[in-house]
Structure 1
């Protein structure tokens, strides 16, 4: 059996690309930047929470019409909890405290045409458990 070549970067470029997308997601949420958020979501992405289903444009309209956390002096307390990348798919788990909510988001990503995009967002509010 031939020894494997372990001189590669073990996907660090992919990890960095996914991290950049996560930063854009956090920045887009915190600063209410709908254009930044639109750029990192696939157009047919769907957002799902218990009892709630929304298409991307519905969600972006909600982001555009709500107060902007940074303008209200809210802290930038978003946290990356985990990233798992397998070939051209990734799953990201995040903490996203927004206003009076404490969301945990699971973002499903696919790499297509050389770019990572969010194709699915599932989230729940842990506010009542805290």
Structure 2
């Protein structure tokens, strides 16, 4: 598997984890110390991985058989660091997510997510 394929697999885990409120998939995709940051209701929302996962689980799962939107626009890799721009949907809204990944013990993990919610 190429590095790009391995990174894409982590992004799939992340998008599917959000769409189907899959806590295990999200824990596998994100580093335990990851930050999830974006603007909401005029203020910066800065979440830990666990607070983000709890919010996703509270929102609930998309119906079974749903095909989650996931458009990976860019993947940039420099040795053990990478960035990904992905368009996805969550709770009926479309987002652009900028994901920073780091290869830790041979595995790519999301260490930071900055998101923008489209109007």
* Aligned residue in 2 for 1:8: none
Q: Which sections of structure 2, spanning at least 5 residues, go unmatched?
A: none
**Which residue among 2, 16, 22 is the counterpart of 1:13?**
2
Deviations 1:33-59 (A, max 9, x none): 111110111100010002111111111
- How far 1:75 sits from its partner (Å)? 4.5
TM-score, scaled relative to structure 2: 0.88
Backbone CA RMSD of aligned residues: 1.5
Q: Which sections of structure 1, spanning at least 5 residues, go unmatched?
A: 1-11
* Aligned residue in 2 for 1:92: 84
Q: Who wins on radius of gyration, i.e. which is larger?
A: 1
2:107 is the counterpart of 1:118: no
Higher RCO, Cα 8 Å, sep 6+: 2
Deviations 1:63-98 (A, max 9, x none): 111121234x75522211111111100000111122
Contact 1:24 1:36 (C-alpha < 8 Å) held by counterparts = yes
Distance 1:112 1:88 in 2: 8
**Using a 3 Å threshold, how does the CA distance of structure 1 residues 14 and 75 change in structure 2: closer, same or farther?**
closer
* Structure with greater helix share of residues: 1
Equivalent position SS for 1:21: helix
Distance 1:78 1:13 in 2: 20
